[in-house]
Amino acid sequence: MATIVLGICGSIAAYKAATVASRLVKLGHEVHCVCTPTALQFVTPLTLMTLSRNPVVTTFEDETGSWVPVHIDLAQRADVLAVVPATANTLASMAHGQCPNALTSLYLAYRGPVLLFPAMNGMMWDHPATQENARILAARDGHRIIGPAEDGMLACGTSGKGRLVDEDCVVQEILSVLPQ
């Protein structure tokens, strides 16, 4: 089966990544969760480790178990990198080659398919800077942006564009790019 790196960013939608990880493991895939520091305000490493059956990478301090840094090792072994949810901050870092955390550092070392599942307030998604970052990333070979959902209740209490697409969609999109 495939090795999947599940990047998780700091959004209320981060809790949905736990369901995605669980479903992928049940399908027989090896799932490794890499969280940004702010993701940990929404979901715990213990939850993700239990569901993925692998240690969770949250900081560069998690990389002391081997002489090969974990973010490099995972970048070399992964069949797909899926960022669920992808925040405006992480999209900007990826678009401009910045690597302030383990997830964005792994991204710079990774050379396979990249699936980005944005989730943020609709005004943030529609901002010209976010739209430009999305265009930059979508133009890169092997990159796809799926979402955000066009309508739904947002964490701020409004309804509109910005929600993470349904977990079933996330799983299906990941499965669609895996080697046969």
| Residues tagged active-site | 156
CB 56 within 8 A of CB 89: no
81 DSSP β-pair partners: 5, 114
Nearest residue to 113 (alpha-carbon basis) of 139, 82, 77, 90 = 82
The residue type of 129 is A
The rounded distance, in Å, linking the Cα atoms of 43 and 108 is 24
Distances from the Cα of 12 to the Cα of 15, 105, 121, 135, angstroms: 7, 23, 11, 24
